Amino acid sequence: MLEPGTKVGAYRIGEQLGAGTMGRVYRASRDADGAVVALKVMLPETARHESLRKRVYREARTAMAVNHPNIVRIHEVFEHEALPVLVMEYLEGESLRTRLKRERRIDLQTLAQVMVRVTSALGTAHAHGVIHRDIKPDNIFLARGSVKVLDFGIAKLTAVEGSAAATASLTKTGTLLGTPYYMSPEQAKGMKRIDHRSDIWSLGVTMYQCLSGEIPTRGKTFVEVFKRVVLEPLVPIEKLVPDVPADIAKLIGRMLTREPAGRPWDLREVHDALERHANEKAPSFATAVAIVDEPTG
């Protein structure tokens, strides 16, 4: 753990904001101008594993490959005492997971206002060849005045050229990646061909949970979760939330179709359906700007 005041590159460490299995996140300020950022510093025991080090660099490159107001910005990546460090925009607020723990359910209008921004961000990423592969409430951050999609650390890049293609070879096809409850059937089965519709499934699970307070794929063991994701019928959301509008119930049901071909082809359909319930003008997919130069680091 880094103590407050420690110098890390051009930055001065402040308080710790969070910690996980990969690393710790600190509030920090840049010595040159006092700009406040968040530093994600990899743990020493994790940094010893080359595959996990590559995951950190992949997170940086994938997030930097698409510039979108609802994707957390990573400004640079460097090493400090052999530990990879990501310099990210500093966010104030809470994750969707934290909100759900406190409130258990989220009303449709509020959820729609959040998810139109998430679908805009993910839809844009998909258009640039990036599949997130780990959409869940933890990775949707409700920042003050905005919504941010976090952690592209296990993202798969499918573009064949440009900045998005730079790290495509770092993701091994067929590897079981993601969080079990939100994992698509094709991820759970370790299938080699996984496309953007895997994110659509994961987003469907997240929306189901937000509206009903229940995770449709919950189980006590990984085997139970696997069976729910791959084999067992899921309880239709209208059974738990009778007043859910028919169009949203139908949409979530399609998002949770086990065969990818049965899901919406892309997130534009999801975005447009949610926009009708958001009662505000939603951001479109056109807000993204492709970054053509390969990121450094």
Kindly report the CATH number assigned to the domain that includes residue 14: 3.30.200.20
Q: Does 139 lie in the same domain as 64? A: no
Q: Does 125 lie in the same domain as 84? A: no
Q: Does 122 lie in the same domain as 61? A: no
> Would residue 1 count as lying in a domain?
no
User: Length of the chain, please?
Assistant: 297
Question: Which of residues 48, 70, 89 is at a domain's end?
Answer: 89
> Would residue 213 count as lying in a domain?
yes
Strand partners, 41: 24, 85
Q: Does 187 lie in the same domain as 175? A: yes
Residue 171 has pLDDT above 50, yes or no: no
Mean pLDDT for 20-30 is 86
Kindly report, residue by residue over 58-96, the tens digit of the pLDDT.
777 777 777 888 988 888 888 898 888 889 899 999 999
Residues 6+ apart with CB under 8 A from 282: 113, 116, 117, 120, 271, 274, 275
Q: Does 25 lie in the same domain as 137? A: no
> Would residue 83 count as lying in a domain?
yes
Q: Does 46 lie in the same domain as 132? A: no
Kindly report, residue by residue over 95-119, the tens digit of the pLDDT.
999 999 999 999 999 999 999 999 9
Q: Does 188 lie in the same domain as 103? A: yes
- Expressed as residue numbers, the domain containing 172 is 93-290
> Would residue 118 count as lying in a domain?
yes
Catalytic site residues? 134
Higher pLDDT, 129 or 119: 119
The first and second tokens of residue 109, run together, are 């209008």
Give the pLDDT of residue 296.
33
Q: How far, CA to CA in Å, does 113 sit from each of 109, 146, 195, 249, 279?
A: 6, 10, 26, 17, 8
The domain total for the chain is 2
Mean pLDDT for 210-226 is 91
In whole angstroms, what is the distance from residue 258 CA to residue 81 CA? 45
Q: Does 193 lie in the same domain as 117? A: yes
pTM of the complete model? 0.82
Q: Does 264 lie in the same domain as 131? A: yes
Kindly report, residue by residue over 34-49, the tens digit of the pLDDT.
999 999 898 888 788 8
Higher pLDDT, 296 or 33: 33
> Would residue 295 count as lying in a domain?
no
> Would residue 195 count as lying in a domain?
yes
Q: Does 116 lie in the same domain as 83? A: no
Question: Which of residues 59, 89, 119 is at a domain's end?
Answer: 89
pLDDT band at 145 (very low <50, low <70, confident <90, very high): confident
Give the pLDDT of residue 153.
58
Question: Which of residues 41, 72, 89 is at a domain's end?
Answer: 89
Q: Does 275 lie in the same domain as 136? A: yes
> Would residue 296 count as lying in a domain?
no
Mean pLDDT for 162-176 is 34
> Would residue 297 count as lying in a domain?
no
In whole angstroms, what is the distance from residue 48 CA to residue 176 CA? 21
pLDDT band at 168 (very low <50, low <70, confident <90, very high): very low
Q: Does 143 lie in the same domain as 207? A: yes
Q: What is the CATH number of the domain that holds 196?
A: 1.10.510.10
